[in-house]
Structures are given as C-alpha cells and as structure tokens.
C-alpha cells in the first residue's frame, strides 16, 4: 500500500517506521524546509521508551541522554519546596527514563528511516 504522512515530526517519523517495516511504501511531506533540530527537552519514559526498545534505537537514545543532577520545586517565594536527585527519579522508572532534546530524537528517527521512505521538505497539503 502507498501511504502519505503529513508531518515529519516525532509522530510522523515513528509512524513511517512501522508502516514501511510492514511492507508499505511511505511518502512523508513536511512543511519545514529541513528536519527540525531544535525544541524542548523531553522527559522520556513509559510507552515511548517501550516503543523505541522495539524499534531497536534505545542505545542511540542512551547516547543523546542529557543527565541532570536533580529536580527542585520552588514555592511562590522562590524557596525550595521539594527536591529529588535524578538517580532517585530514574529508580522510580526502573532506570527506563531519559532526558534529551526534541530535535535530537527527530534526528535519531530520521536516520533510522531516511533510506527507506521518501521525504519532501518544504511542502504542505493545499487540498484534499
């Protein structure tokens, strides 16, 4: 089957991986002129972690992990209300937790599929 995906972000790239893996011909259109490299830092755990394990890219995600010392929550006066070390936080998730930038994850996903799907950057759907 031929499939077109509108949007080459994390969801579109992940969907493209699974569709092409199951024998589909995938074409991604993305309105940005190039792959995004910026974005917010992500707290990555739970179902996303499980999916990337199945995709075989957990090792790459481990390499882009940004370790932090901990989390500190402040009250409205700016005084520490609660603090937690990052190793303690990771323990809560059985060490199945990473921090990395959104653009870093898109890069990993793109390189996983770039030779198996067709990309068209700088394109949008005008009419269906």
For residues 6-32, give the mean pLDDT: 96
User: What number of CA atoms fall less than 13 Å from residue 117's CA on the CB side?
Assistant: 33
Mind listing the pLDDT tens digit for each residue in 60-107? Answer: 999 999 888 998 999 999 999 999 999 998 899 999 999 999 999 999
Pairing of strands 97-101, 41-45: antiparallel
Does this model's pTM top 0.95? My answer is no
Model confidence at 128: pLDDT above 80 = no
Model confidence at 108: pLDDT above 90 = yes
CB 48 within 8 A of CB 97: no
Q: Domain 2-121 belongs to what topology?
A: FAD/NAD(P)-binding domain (3.50.50)
Q: Per the structure block, which two tokens stand in for 20?
A: 């092409």
Domain boundaries along the sequence of the chain = 2-121
Mind listing the pLDDT tens digit for each residue in 20-67? Answer: 999 999 999 999 999 888 889 998 999 999 999 999 999 999 999 988
């Amino acid at each position: 089957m031929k499939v077109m995906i509108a949007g080459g972000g994390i969801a579109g790239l992940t969907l493209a991986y699974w569709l092409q893996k199951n024998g589909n011909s995938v074409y991604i259109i993305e309105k940005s002129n190039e792959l995004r490299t910026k974005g917010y830092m992500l707290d990555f755990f739970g179902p996303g972690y499980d999916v990337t394990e199945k995709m075989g890219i957990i090792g790459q995600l481990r390499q882009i992990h940004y370790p932090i010392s901990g989390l500190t929550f402040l009250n409205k006066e700016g005084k520490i209300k609660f603090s937690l070390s990052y190793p303690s936080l990771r323990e809560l998730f059985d060490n199945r937790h990473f921090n990395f930038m959104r653009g870093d994850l898109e890069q990993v996903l793109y390189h996983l599929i770039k030779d198996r799907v067709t990309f068209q950057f700088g394109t949008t759907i005008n009419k269906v």
